[in-house]
Amino acid sequence: MTTTANHAYGYTDLPELMGLMTGDEKHSPAATSTLDALWVLHDRVLRVSPETADDPGRDRFLLSKGHGPMAYYAVLTAKGFVEREWLTGFGSYDSPLGHHPDRTLVPGVEIASGSLGHGLPLAVGTALGLRAQRLSDPAVWVLVGDAELDEGSNHEAIAYAGPAGLERLHTLVIDNASATWARPGGIAARFEAAGWSAVTVDGRDHEALYAAFTAPHPGRPHAVIARVEPKTS
Amino acid sequence: MDSMRDRFAATTTRLLDEDPSLAVVLAEISADRFEQAGRDHPDRVINVGIREQLLVGVGAGLALAGLRPVVHTFASFLIERPFEQVKLDFGHQDVGGVLVSAAASYDWPAGGFTHMAPGDVALLDTLDGWTVHVPGHPDEAETLLRHAVAAGDDRVYVRLSEQANTSPVKVDGEHFRTVKEGRSGVVVAVGPMLDNVLRATEGLDVTVLYATTVRPFDAEALRAAVGPGPAEVVIVEPYLAGTSTGEADTALLDVPHRVLGLGVGRAELRRYGQIEEHLAAHGLDAVSLRGRISGFLSLPEGGA
């Protein structure tokens, strides 16, 4: 739980916060595919708060899959980065909250995203930049979609980060089986073949997500594949 | 004489020693020139392999982490192949960096069109906020590179070429320089085009401005050179013909003017050979330039 000016928000408040953006408290599974993983990550794993949002030593979370960011904005609101009042203006001309997030407009947002395949390469660069400054503590997390992994830029990043031993780099793949051509052998196998640590979990199971997020992975980057309901269900 | 690319490696190697916030990102090209720097600064000389989208994304990620990235490969693979990364990972993220290219428009003609990028500056013109340096000599390349690295969080493109003028000009990373004065027109020579432009305008009564920083375009220098007008301006660029005519038009909005943009033709020239042969094919050798400039300005080709 995080205390903001007027309210203490928890996981159970997230549907209501999302409803402020959409006018609907009942979301399809696809719209909330990221919700549980985002919540567990921000609530229990990431070491960053509105007070430390500019601290060089903070953990970084990069939302690469910028489409459908309602769950992201709801979690950022719950954690005090975004004001609740902003949510009702979602997507309007005067709102800082677009249908794709912009890092220059929203506190706590590390990258502006929307176009797929940019977050993981940016995360690789960020991890390299922190390492070059001897900032070995901060973790870098990037969230991608399973279909987003089709982008060649992600293949470049995965293939490089494993052999480069980027231990502080973490990729969270939300797998709602939306790729038109599924990856033979599964998503985890793709990361493992490139020298990553990888674990696949139920993307709705908070304890399983937490265990996967915090699993040790010495000398290697780490991928968590969070399986949720198929997009078409 | 060393090449601009040699000077880039030597200068950047020294800058890495001096500035702990500087990092170099490579995609194999020129990696051999950074071997010692890589041994001295293993965390700040990063070779991502033959991965150009990653190359640019990593550069921007380094900037997000607070470093000043220098990102380098051939222009085709730095600007054209990962263009969306250049647009979004630097521009839309609102972070800065220094992109340094080699191979230019046809530095390796025998290699063919895959390694030619005459459209790079025009492509960057579709984006906001990029400074573009086009040095004409290794000494200028060093000066402009140092400006680029020191330019805070600006986005800067440094376009290196194997084509070079015989002598360096003192450049400041900002202004055009007047290298010759006359009354019958103004010729703007960009970077490596200066020697040929000076030969082409020998005995002609024209002003020659030398431009090595083309974006932002030094509108003030051009306005000063043309006076009250009407103005006749020729721009000779080592990349796509007409790339800067819009900039000249804007600079001369209040002056009646005509602008001729000379540079590399748009049609793909399916020829190998030497740089000089490509210069001639595009009408950028001294003899061709003399005819084209004289014709546009209605001057006798033999001079006054």
A69 shares contact with chain B (CB less than 8 Å): no
Per the structure, the count of domains in chain A is 1
How far apart (Å, rounded) are the C-alpha atoms in residues A82 and B249? 45
How many Cα atoms within 13 Å fall on the side-chain side of residue B287? 4
ipTM of the complex: 0.95
Count interface pairs A-B at CB distance under 8 A.
Answer: 98
How far apart (Å, rounded) are the C-alpha atoms in residues A174 and A176? 6
Question: How far is C-alpha A104 from the geometric centre of its chain's CA atoms?
Answer: 18
Minimal Cβ distance to B59: which of A123, A125, A157: A125
Predicted confidence at residue A184, as pLDDT, reads 86
Share of residues in chain A with pLDDT > 90 (%): 88
| Interface touch A156/B59, C-beta < 8 Å | no
For chain B, the distance separating the N- and C-terminal CA atoms, rounded to the nearest angstrom, is 35
Which residues touch A4 (CB under 8 Å, ≥6 apart)? A80, A84
Gap from B44 CA to chain A (nearest CA, Å):
6
| Interface touch A128/B58, C-beta < 8 Å | yes
Which architecture characterizes domain B4-159 according to CATH?
3-Layer(aba) Sandwich (3.40)
- pLDDT of A28 > 50? The answer is yes
Structural tokens at position B31: 């990696």
- pLDDT of A29 > 70? The answer is no
Predicted confidence at residue A2, as pLDDT, reads 46
The residue extents of the domains of chain B are 4-159, 177-297
**Segments of chain B with pLDDT less than 50:** none
At B33-83, the pLDDT tens digits run 999 999 999 999 999 999 999 999 999 999 999 999 999 999 999 999 999
| Average pLDDT over all residues of chain B | 97
- The answer to whether residue A14 is domain-embedded is yes
Contact B68, B98 (CB under 8 A): yes
Reported confidence tier of residue A232, pLDDT bands at 50, 70, 90: low
How far apart (Å, rounded) are the C-alpha atoms in residues A216 and A126? 21
CATH number of B177-297: 3.40.50.920
At B163-200, the pLDDT tens digits run 999 999 999 999 999 999 999 999 999 999 999 999 99
- The answer to whether residue A31 is domain-embedded is yes
Chain A residues closer than 8 Å to B88 by CB: 112, 115, 118
Minimal Cβ distance to A123: which of B25, B48, B61: B61
One-letter-per-residue 3-state SS of chain A: CEECCCCEECHHHHHHHHHHHHCCCCCCHHHHCCHHHHHHHHHHHCCCCHHHCCCCCCCEEEECCCCCCHHHHHHHHHCCCCCHHHHCCCCCCCCCCCCCCCCCCCCCCCCCCCCCCCHHHHHHHHHHHHHHCCCCCCCEEEEEECCHHHCHHHHHHHHHHCCCCCCCEEEEEEECCCCCCCCCCCHHHHHHHCCCEEEEEECCCHHHHHHHHCCCCCCCCEEEEEECCCCCC
Gap from A46 CA to chain B (nearest CA, Å):
17
Residue of B nearest to A153 (CA): B53
Predicted confidence at residue A1, as pLDDT, reads 44
- The answer to whether residue A232 is domain-embedded is no
Predicted confidence at residue B294, as pLDDT, reads 98
Task: Tell me if domain B4-159 and domain B177-297 are identical in fold.
Answer: yes
- pLDDT of A6 > 50? The answer is no
| Interface touch A111/B93, C-beta < 8 Å | yes
Structural tokens at position A2: 């995080």
The CATH number of residue A189's host domain is 3.40.50.970
At A132-186, the pLDDT tens digits run 999 999 999 999 999 999 999 999 999 999 999 999 999 999 999 999 998 889 9
Chain A residues closer than 8 Å to B89 by CB: 118, 121-122
Residue of B nearest to A112 (CA): B93
Handedness of CA A10, A11, A16, A21 (dihedral sign): positive
| Closest among A111, A219, A112, A115 to A162, alpha carbons compared | A219
- pLDDT of A3 > 50? The answer is no
Chain A residues closer than 8 Å to B85 by CB: 118, 121, 153
**Residue type for position B79:** I
At A73-100, the pLDDT tens digits run 999 999 999 999 999 999 999 999 999 9
Chain A residues closer than 8 Å to B58 by CB: 121-122, 124-125, 128
- Full residue range of the structural domain in which residue A97 is found: 2-227
**Which is higher by pLDDT, A7 or A72?**
A72
